[in-house]
Structure 1
Amino acid sequence: MTKTSGLVIGLAAVLFSTPVMAQTSGLKVIDQFKIGGDGGWDYITLDPAAGKLYVAHGTSISAFAMKAGQATPHLADAKGAHIALPVHSGADLLVTHGKADIVTINDANTGAVKATIKTDTKPDAAIIEPVTGKAFVMANAGGAMDVIDLDTQTLSGRVAIGGAAEAAAVDGEGLVFSHLEDKNAFVVVDARTLTLKATHVIKDCEEPSGIAFIPGQRLILSACQNGIARISKADTGEEVATVPVGPRPDAALYDATAKLGYVPSADGKLTVISFDGVPHVIDVVATKASARTATLDADTGRIYLPAADLGSVDAKTGRPTISPNSLVVIVVGR
């Protein structure tokens, strides 16, 4: 995920007339899970059947069993992990190792490595495409989507997409979408033929990160590093709406039941976007500073956001330090 910290703070005031209506969604922080472990993190994923959350750290994968209230701060080793994606009906995890140019298949209970698969450079996000049943891995520095056959646990294909792939979304009908954070665009890939169908530039959206597909309306929700979310037509790239969000957003979610989109940002705010009519912001929920990634439980409507206590700014990186053993998952619901 993108690490850019710049934000044009005044942009929202200049560009947008849609008001932000406080606390109209009914959402609030309802719980917090202590995870622990050290260092930064990227994506959080959910296995709803097992009731387990997984957080990818740089050097490890953490897990939390919600029913038992049990945290496993270090389930498995990792080399620059970006995501631990439940596969094989939750029995295993597909882990992307951005610093080793591999993905591994790990036992979801023990963390043991079952398979190691070479990928293009810097594998980042990953998603299951339901029509083909394949895993699509976003090779951020390799300019490609790599395709993993989960039955044989091998690399079965590659699609050149011409830029730095970020997060991913699917339409459930055979298409895979991803942002090109270096091109301010999103791509459309046909999962059946493994071809690049289209590249759509998303104007005014800088370094897009989180992405969500809105079914029915066939829209793409893009979280942009310059403090906006852009909504585009998935099939043409045409702009539908642009709304303000917080700084450094790194995820985008959509709840089809509630017809709500969610964009979390690094300042500890969760922007809630209604897709009932023209997309517009209806709420901003306070979470916790650093809670910029998230996952959604479609059955309950709850949103899970990893966050940690932050210290002083590191002079070398320009980012705040992370207090040891402070990782938690914030739960937002009704």
Structure 2
Amino acid sequence: MSQSKFLGTLRLAFLLAFSLLLFSPSVVSAAPQDSGYRVIRTIHLGGEGNWDYVTVDADARRVYVPRSTHIMVVDEDSGKLIGDIPGMNGLHGVAVVPEFNRAFVTGNKTEQEGTIYIFDLKTLKLTSSIKSNSIDTDSLIYDPLTKHVFVNNGDGMNLTVVDAATEKVVGTMAYNANPEAAVSDGKGSIFQDLEDKRSVIEYDAKTLTVKNKWPTGPCVSPVGMAMDRTHRRLYVSCRGEGNVPGVLIVMNADNGKVLTSMPIGIGVDGNVFDSGTGDIFATCRDSGDGKTGATYVFHADSPDKISLVATVKTIYGARTVALDPKSHHIFSIGTEQNEPPAPGAKNPRPRPVLSTFELLEIGK
């Protein structure tokens, strides 16, 4: 064979091999895919007061945003502020109970008096309040099975249970630890993470008897929790501590086994699971640059495996999250502008400019 023919044959073989490699399934699947998740709407709210949790009522098309002493009510579709409920103090979260036309709000009249406020969903007027008989009344969930509202008192290290129909305290339980997020499995169990004990407990929603207590393994400072009820999986977000980074872990809800963990950003304070898409969202205060926040989106590839599909840059302080299961969008809150940390601050963080407070909507 002549040298020219040999080189031509070699060139053809090389091109054929390269084409097969380029279009092989393994290479194509390894290429990064655009999930499509992004901030699709920014709603400027401004106003006074710090913030904690955000709540979506997908059926009523409302978003509730507690702000220290008042609750901003936003029309989810138009983005307009349709109400502002005053007369409260030290607010944290809202649990909507449409079957009784009321919502329960965690707050603190004083540092020594935790309070559960109640407002009418139609009139958006305060109707009553209940003493939590504890301090640092913080997160809460409503369990439709028992028709009870489960209220966590952080520094009080205990639980207050309220009957949603009668608005009466019907139970208490000591954690002897700092509670953060809780979820119901809809079958009579409540799962609760204990931040300072690096653990998750399961207790009976009716008797308040602890059934199980499990360590969270690589998860330090667990603060957020969501559940895949179908596959009995808990998704727990963890802030980390010192040199230990924040992570999201997957836990078997039947035996407490930690199945996997994935790294996330700084200052997570919530995560949700969308059963319609199989996606998990974890919202972090700081993306790592000290100026912006980040939402980490994972997909449940199987009951025991998750993969990162998107990291969406948000605004600094957007650390809590609420899901609309109908639109498959999530909402978070924070400020567009922040001032430098106060001189000599023990835990220096940017200070929010409240006039730039915003509600973010993330979706495809």
The TM-score, its normalising length taken from structure 2, stands at 0.81
Asked if 2 retains the 8 angstrom alpha-carbon contact of 1:222 and 1:231, the reply is yes
Kindly indicate whether residue 298 of structure 2 is the aligned counterpart of residue 270 of structure 1.
no
Q: Percent identity?
A: 28
Q: Aligned AA for 2:210?
A: L
Separation of aligned partners in 2, 1:206 and 1:118:
32
Separation of aligned partners in 2, 1:218 and 1:141:
30
Q: Aligned AA for 1:180?
A: L
What residue in structure 2 maps to residue 314 of structure 1? Answer: 342
Task: Rate the CA distance shift 1:85–1:23 in 2: closer, same or farther, 3 A.
Answer: farther
Deviations 1:91-129 (A, max 9, x none): 322110144311011224554321211112221111011
Separation of aligned partners in 1, 2:31 and 2:170:
48
Q: Measure how far apart 1:61 and its partner are.
A: 1.6
Q: How many residues align?
A: 315
Separation of aligned partners in 2, 1:65 and 1:105:
20
Among candidates 60, 74, 84, match of residue 50 of structure 1: 60
Asked if 2 retains the 8 angstrom alpha-carbon contact of 1:31 and 1:332, the reply is yes
Asked if 1 retains the 8 angstrom alpha-carbon contact of 2:281 and 2:298, the reply is yes
Q: Aligned AA for 2:308?
A: V
Asked if 1 retains the 8 angstrom alpha-carbon contact of 2:51 and 2:67, the reply is yes
What residue in structure 2 maps to residue 290 of structure 1? Answer: 317
Q: Measure how far apart 1:90 and its partner are.
A: 7.8
Among candidates 280, 286, 298, match of residue 261 of structure 1: 280
Kindly indicate whether residue 183 of structure 2 is the aligned counterpart of residue 173 of structure 1.
no
Asked if 2 retains the 8 angstrom alpha-carbon contact of 1:161 and 1:187, the reply is no
Asked if 2 retains the 8 angstrom alpha-carbon contact of 1:21 and 1:281, the reply is no
Asked if 1 retains the 8 angstrom alpha-carbon contact of 2:147 and 2:165, the reply is no
Larger radius of gyration: 2
Asked if 2 retains the 8 angstrom alpha-carbon contact of 1:34 and 1:71, the reply is no
Q: What stretches of structure 1 of length at least 5 have no aligned partner?
A: 1-19
Asked if 2 retains the 8 angstrom alpha-carbon contact of 1:102 and 1:116, the reply is yes
Asked if 2 retains the 8 angstrom alpha-carbon contact of 1:35 and 1:73, the reply is no
What residue in structure 2 maps to residue 323 of structure 1? Answer: 353
What residue in structure 2 maps to residue 115 of structure 1? Answer: 128
What secondary structure sits across from 1:132 in the alignment? coil
Separation of aligned partners in 2, 1:329 and 1:68:
13
What secondary structure sits across from 2:48 in the alignment? coil
Q: Measure how far apart 1:35 and its partner are.
A: 1.8
Deviations 1:189-231 (A, max 9, x none): 2112221112211122221111111222211111111221111
Q: Which has the higher helix share?
A: 2
What secondary structure sits across from 1:49 in the alignment? coil
What residue in structure 1 maps to residue 265 of structure 2? Answer: 246
Kindly indicate whether residue 222 of structure 2 is the aligned counterpart of residue 194 of structure 1.
no
Separation of aligned partners in 2, 1:207 and 1:167:
11
Q: Measure how far apart 1:133 and its partner are.
A: 1.3
Q: Aligned AA for 2:314?
A: T
Q: Measure how far apart 1:322 and its partner are.
A: 1.2
Q: Aligned AA for 1:104?
A: Y
> How large is the RMSD of aligned CA atoms in angstroms?
2.0
What secondary structure sits across from 2:77 in the alignment? coil
What residue in structure 2 maps to residue 142 of structure 1? Answer: 156
What residue in structure 1 maps to residue 141 of structure 2? Answer: 127
Kindly indicate whether residue 238 of structure 2 is the aligned counterpart of residue 224 of structure 1.
yes
Q: Measure how far apart 1:89 and its partner are.
A: 3.9
Asked if 2 retains the 8 angstrom alpha-carbon contact of 1:35 and 1:72, the reply is no
